[in-house]
Structure 1
Amino acid sequence: MDFWGSGPEGRQAGGFSFHVLNANAPEEEVRRHSHDEAHFVLVLAGGYMSSAAGAPLVSDTPVLIYNPPGTTHQDRFHGGRGRFLAISGGTDSEAAALCMRDPYAYRLAHDIAHQIDAATPFRLEACALQLHGIVLPLSSDEAQAAKHPPGWLTRAVEMIFTSDDPDISVARVAVGVGVHPVHLARVFKRFLGCSPGEYLRGHRLERAAAMLGKGVASLADVAQSAGFADQPHLARTFRSRLDTTPAQWRKKSRYVARIQDPEAAMPQGPVKAL
């Protein structure tokens, strides 16, 4: 399977292929395309835009996307800049394309990305199979692992992604799942590679981007609703994370939002998979 990315030659193990690549195509060149094999995409850097269920309009939090065989999409990086791990292989077709928020799944993929050259073929294959086991849960305890994160971590992630409260804080999340904030921070860092504060800030940017894409609320209202201190704070975050301004993002939102519409008609032409 080809990808819209460049990098060193990937690894092969047990019918799976593994690549860590840098995005190398302007986002407007990525057409709608389909895949014969199942694959996972772990975003390592950049704002990823995916039509998978549960995916933000543009990512700024740890994102792991699963696409089953036959998926048709237009997933790509904002501005054509980003870095990602791609794991392809398998013919599972019982699951739909989705954005995986399971901390253990993210940790597995993250470990592969950072150990791709040193890991044994057995380790690579085992991790790929575990990821498929999470997407399509096994009926036995074989899907579980000794290093599985605590159940409260998944609840903490859900609290952040389902809350409409702009004043939600890390301390409040810790209270909500019944752990000390310091312990929350340690476990977040271990399984998600970032602090809970960084995760919360990333979600706020994703939420603001989605609101701007709807083109209804003012920039000041978006900033307040998404949890930013004020409109300048929102603007600084957009420039820092997405290399654009909220106003510029809104202007191109009609084009960006099309990736969330499975019925969007796109020009036909040669394509490669991302």
Structure 2
Amino acid sequence: MEVVVKAQPTSMHGCTVRLPGFTLTSGMHGPRATLPRHHHELPTLCYVMRGGFTEYSRGHAMTCIPNTLKLTPAGDEHWNHFQSVQTHGLLVEIEPSRFDETRSIADLLDDRVHLRGGPAAEVARRLVLELAEGDDAALVAAEGLLLELLASLARTDASLSRGAHPRWLTEAMDIVHERFTGQLSLSELATLVGVHPVTLARWFRRGYGCSVGQRLRRLRIEKAARDLLETDRPLGEIALAAGFSDQSHFCNVFRREMCTSPGRYRATRR
């Protein structure tokens, strides 16, 4: 039998609020605390107010600092190590059955999302302020803000299919174009634009129709092809200048992408 660790934040001043379809828990973690490997029985939203932590999941490390918003699907295993200062956050457990008739949000709850700043994080910040009011009106407002938050995330997701890209995704493509000749991993690129590698990989493919690796490879091939026609440099130099590890790797990729060898490409097009 699998043991499920309920990852409720331990807090000196924590409180739990239940709304239709949502359970909200505010809590604090001490400096350098660790939450062992666990998963949640329901999809969760986590918003970091102060401090921060690193989350480890699926072989990736994800840094969450203030104004970070994280959506984790039910059953997704991870563990957390907190920074050297006290961390204060809000955990929202979401009951998927509330959104059975709302396909865009139901689909969203199966995804892992990690965003730093932006419209959805601003809604989360307003949610925290509203909860601090502590009256009946705050509960009504909080429910509305939670629905607005999920709608914002779902619209960002849907906007990719219409060709509209969030700023961080455009930033990611700009970085790929600037640094394609060097070493650039998916994890490093995700860190630079402030999202989880899984979020970046999924939205990059949906937004641009290819993976980050495929785009890097295509840019390197295009540069190498230009150098083959415009210079007399040897193949080894062209390969390294375009970002390939060696001439053999370059020739194999070039032949696969261009359906001809680099030497033949140069000879027949000059």
Q: Which has the higher contact order (CA 8 A, sep 6+)?
A: 1
TM-score interval, smaller chain: 0.3 to 0.5
Radius of gyration: which is bigger? 2
TM-score with structure 2 setting the length: 0.46
Question: What TM-score do the two structures reach when normalised by structure 1?
Answer: 0.46
